[in-house]
């Protein structure tokens, strides 16, 4: 068991510190943000699986009840292969730390979901004030699109039940028909990919563990890559130039092209659309996707290796 815990610790630290820093410095995720998001998710899953499997092994070594429950269906040879009765003293401390981390992670996820629900309910209440239901006898509005009377040009997707796509009259006046189509396609791209759930997860992990590089980088890169992915969805339908012009028109008053602006990502998105780089080739996409999907299997392989060896 000691060897398993050391291997899991090595894999977890590698996936949590040097790998995310190297991935952040890479430029290829900009060329294919969907693959980049998949790689980040697999990397985070690897770290979490290392923690969960280490917690399971440590708890089985420290607590006899847990050991009985985990290894109840296993043959005696499998239980003996893990040598749980000879667990090191530090396994108890590691188990308590991992259990506390698991509880804290669950609390952060619950808090983020509760906050997201509160914000969504507040936004819907605000929308009902600005766009109240029509009086009885008049046909009710249908479809997910809601137009708000507002000079401020804006458009956004509000998840929930039912989801709604909101666009202001300021945006309708400022954008051409094709630019408006690009904006709506961008927002629908967020909705179809369920980017809101990915953003909630990354925010919760970064809030709970701000000093762990993989979670901090995961949050930053997720917020960046979901926008690039939605931009690609819009550009494939409406063209790169149209999407870039729509982005400029919607954000010109915010200083989108100002280097000192806090919204520097908008300028990067415009540059990326005006000078598009080719996507990753099919072979490189398949290689990156497959490799990333196999990485989370490493902690599982380490955990089950003694048992599988005993059965063989």
The token duo for 278 is 């080719």
Tally helices (H) and strands (E) across the chain: 15, 3
Q: How far apart are CA 212 and CA 44, in angstroms?
A: 11
Give the Cα separation of 67 and 56 in Å (integer).
9
Global pTM?
0.90
Tokens of 107: 């609390």
pLDDT in tens, the chain (312 residues): 788 999 999 999 999 999 999 999 999 999 999 999 999 999 999 999 999 999 999 999 888 888 888 888 888 888 888 888 766 778 889 999 999 999 999 999 999 999 999 999 998 888 878 775 545 554 455 557 888 888 888 888 888 777 888 899 999 999 999 999 999 999 999 999 999 999 999 999 999 999 999 999 999 999 999 999 999 999 999 999 999 999 999 888 765 544 433 457 888 999 999 999 999 999 999 999 999 999 999 999 999 999 988 887
Cα gap 263→257, rounded to integer Å: 9
What are 157's strand-pairing partners? Answer: 165
- Residue 148, token pair as written in the block: 């708000």
Q: How many angstroms separate the CA atoms of 217 and 202, rounded?
A: 9
Laid out side by side, the sheet with 155-158 consists of 145-148, 164-168, 155-158
Contact 235, 243 (CB under 8 A): yes
Q: Structure tokens of 113?
A: 């979901």
């Amino acid at each position: 068991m000691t060897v398993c815990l050391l291997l899991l610790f090595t894999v977890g630290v590698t996936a949590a510190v040097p790998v995310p820093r190297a991935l952040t410095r890479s430029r290829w995720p900009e060329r294919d943000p969907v693959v980049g998001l998949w790689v980040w998710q697999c990397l985070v899953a690897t770290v979490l699986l290392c923690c969960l499997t280490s917690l399971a092994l440590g708890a089985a070594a420290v607590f006899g009840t847990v050991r009985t429950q985990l290894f109840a269906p296993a043959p005696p040879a499998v239980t003996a292969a893990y040598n749980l009765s000879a667990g090191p003293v530090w396994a108890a401390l590691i188990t308590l730390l991992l259990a506390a981390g698991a509880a804290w992670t669950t609390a952060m996820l619950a808090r983020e979901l509760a906050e997201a629900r509160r914000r969504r309910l507040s936004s819907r209440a605000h929308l009902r004030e600005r766009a109240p239901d029509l009086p009885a006898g008049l046909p009710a509005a249908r479809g997910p699109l809601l137009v708000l009377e507002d000079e401020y040009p804006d458009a956004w997707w509000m998840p929930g039940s039912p989801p709604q796509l909101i666009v202001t009259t300021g945006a309708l006046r400022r954008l051409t028909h094709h630019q408006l189509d690009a904006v709506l396609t961008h927002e629908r791209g967020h909705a179809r990919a369920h980017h809101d759930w990915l953003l909630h997860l990354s925010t919760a992990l970064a809030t709970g563990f701000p000093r762990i590089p993989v979670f901090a980088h995961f949050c930053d890169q997720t917020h960046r890559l979901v926008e690039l992915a939605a931009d690609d969805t819009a550009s494939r339908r409406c063209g790169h130039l149209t999407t870039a012009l729509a982005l400029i028109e919607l954000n010109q008053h915010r200083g989108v092209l100002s280097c000192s602006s806090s919204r520097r990502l908008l300028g990067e998105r415009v540059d990326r659309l005006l000078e598009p780089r080719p996507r990753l080739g099919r072979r490189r996409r398949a290689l990156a996707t497959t490799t990333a999907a196999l990485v989370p299997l490493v902690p599982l392989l380490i955990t089950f290796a003694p048992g599988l060896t005993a059965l063989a």
